[in-house]
Structure 1
Amino acid sequence: MDHEIARHLADTWGLVLLVLMFLAAVGFLFRPGAKSYYRKCGHIPLSDDERPKS
């Protein structure tokens, strides 16, 4: 395999792979039932369960 063939494969199939990975990540984030989990995680920095030691 020479450099031109490797470059062509990386240009075409590399782009397809990255797009599929992006769509999988977006699909995972917006799956049904995930809203309550991410809302709960979003409120973690705002909770004052422990007071800082001074």
Structure 2
Amino acid sequence: MTYNFMRAFADTWGLLAMALFFVGCITIALRPGSRTRADEAAQIPLKDD
């Protein structure tokens, strides 16, 4: 009973939640102004103390 319920939940709402999460991540990565923040974050390991 529990397995069937969890599987049905994952097949419907779980898939929808993962798809929305994926779309949100892509949206945040491609929004205007994110390139400068990504470039700044990429330079952090190269900065001298």
* TM bucket, shorter chain: 0.7 to 0.9
* Equivalences for residues 1-54 of structure 1 within 5 A: 3=2, 4=4, 6=5, 7-48=7-48, 50=49
Q: Percent identity?
A: 34
Q: Which has the higher contact order (CA 8 A, sep 6+)?
A: 2
Q: How many pairs does the alignment contain?
A: 47
| Rg comparison, structure with higher value | 1
**Aligned-residue CA RMSD (Å):** 1.4
Runs of at least 5 residues in structure 1 that lack an aligned partner in the other structure: none
Offset of residue 47 of structure 1 = 1.1
| 2:14 counterpart letter in structure 1 | G
1:37 shift after superposition: 0.9
| Structure 2, unpaired ranges of 5+ | none
Structure with more helix by fraction: 2
TM-score normalised by structure 1 residue count: 0.69
